[in-house]
Amino acid sequence: SRMPGKKVCIVGSGNWGSSIAKIIGSNVKASNRFHPEVNLWVYEETVDGRLLSHIINTQHENVKYLPGHKLPRNVRALPDLVEAVRGTELIVFVVPHQFIGGLCEQMKGHVKEGAIGISLVKGLDEGPDGIRLISDIIREKLHMDVSVLMGANIASEVAADKFCESTVGARTLANGLIFKELLQTPNFRITVVEESDTVELCGALKNIVAVGAGFCDGLGFGDNTKAAVIRLGLMEMVAFAKMFCRGPVSSDTFLESCGVADLVTTCYGGRNRKVAEAFVRTSKNISELEEEMLNGQKLQGPQTSAEIYKLLQKKNLVKEFPLFSAIYQICFQGRDVQDFITCLQNHPEHM
């Protein structure tokens, strides 16, 4: 008899979590390296008077966060996190970043010895010296090896099985390769690289740039301006990664899907761009718009800009990162959005 396959738990069932559940549910059936059933932890809520976990288990559809797509029947929704994680060896973290710390606290002591994780979370958290990677929070709290997956992967398109690429960043290559096997499909192509921190930072920082792209759209600028925002944003992403990462940061990583490709897709599609455009066109603040436009989905760009700005201030580097800084000040400090263009005109890249 063969070894029992590794069981997967997906922690989170929003728009991206549900899309990735579709892929995982189908892939585990095709390989005897994985257990044929998948646990999906669901943050319980009621939708039209019914429990979301119950809807998922009976209709096989996350009607709130991924309507119109069936989930494979071997994906089982569980509202109890401890129960969902029990006995599983591959843990996929895919929740908005503000919830990760609390969820890891609940999981402490319940994760199987030797289990490994992968974070699909795009964002950063506050740490003692400024900022902390989400994967580091998971490593510290749960003492497990954690890879990351980031890329040009707007969830609705992945759920519709439209071709795209993605990047796995792995501290331990063998573990990155296990997750590649779990997640790759003919239309979801994965490259594994070993510069995990750079990959993760790309995923967090691109959301700030997307807010800038949304400002340009709101102000009525064109494609050339947006291309400049993307390029200058990329330069700041590279500079920031070089400053922040302890390990090596190579330009090659930015050429993977997690770098340029995710930046481009987020600056054209993506919820951060959309809300930032509305921010310019209406007089509403960011949290009002998040509430109004996103149906329970969370925004990452503005909050990430706040975390980065605090660190830049502390290190006296605000002037070296004018685009990141202006985006924060416009979102939260009432700086005039027209100043965003002034900041592009005076970017140190041209001086």
Query: Which residues make up the interface to ligand NAD (CB under 6 A)?
Result: 12-17, 43, 65, 94-97, 99, 120-123, 153-155, 296-298, 300
**Residue sitting closest to ligand NAD (CB):** 14
We find the least distance from the C-beta atom of residue 295 to ligand NAD, in angstroms, to be 9
Residue 72 or 101 with smaller CB distance to ligand NAD: 101
Residue 176 or 322 with smaller CB distance to ligand NAD: 176
User: Would you call 206 a catalytic residue per the annotation?
Assistant: yes
Q: What is the CA radius of gyration of the chain?
A: 20
We find the least distance from the C-beta atom of residue 81 to ligand NAD, in angstroms, to be 9
Residue 14 or 233 with smaller CB distance to ligand NAD: 14
Q: Is 119 annotated as a binding residue?
A: no
Residue 22 or 122 with smaller CB distance to ligand NAD: 122
We find the least distance from the C-beta atom of residue 162 to ligand NAD, in angstroms, to be 12
**75 and 84 in contact (C-beta within 8 Å)?**
no
Q: What is the largest CA-CA distance in the chain?
A: 68
Q: Is 319 annotated as a binding residue?
A: no
- Using CB atoms within 10 A of its CB, is residue 200 exposed (0-12), middle (13-18) or buried (19+)? buried
Q: Is 122 annotated as a binding residue?
A: yes
We find the least distance from the C-beta atom of residue 300 to ligand NAD, in angstroms, to be 5
Tokens 């006995």 locate to: 87
We find the least distance from the C-beta atom of residue 231 to ligand NAD, in angstroms, to be 22
Q: Is 15 annotated as a binding residue?
A: yes
Q: Is 14 annotated as a binding residue?
A: yes
Residue 200 or 277 with smaller CB distance to ligand NAD: 200
Residue 150 or 241 with smaller CB distance to ligand NAD: 150
We find the least distance from the C-beta atom of residue 65 to ligand NAD, in angstroms, to be 5
* Selected catalytic residue, list 162, 206, 284, 315: 206
Q: Is 16 annotated as a binding residue?
A: yes
User: d(Cα 101, Cα 26) in Å, to the nearest integer?
Assistant: 29
Catalytic residues: 206
Positions at the binding site for substrate: 122, 271-272
Positions at the binding site for NAD(+): 12-17, 99, 155, 271, 298, 300
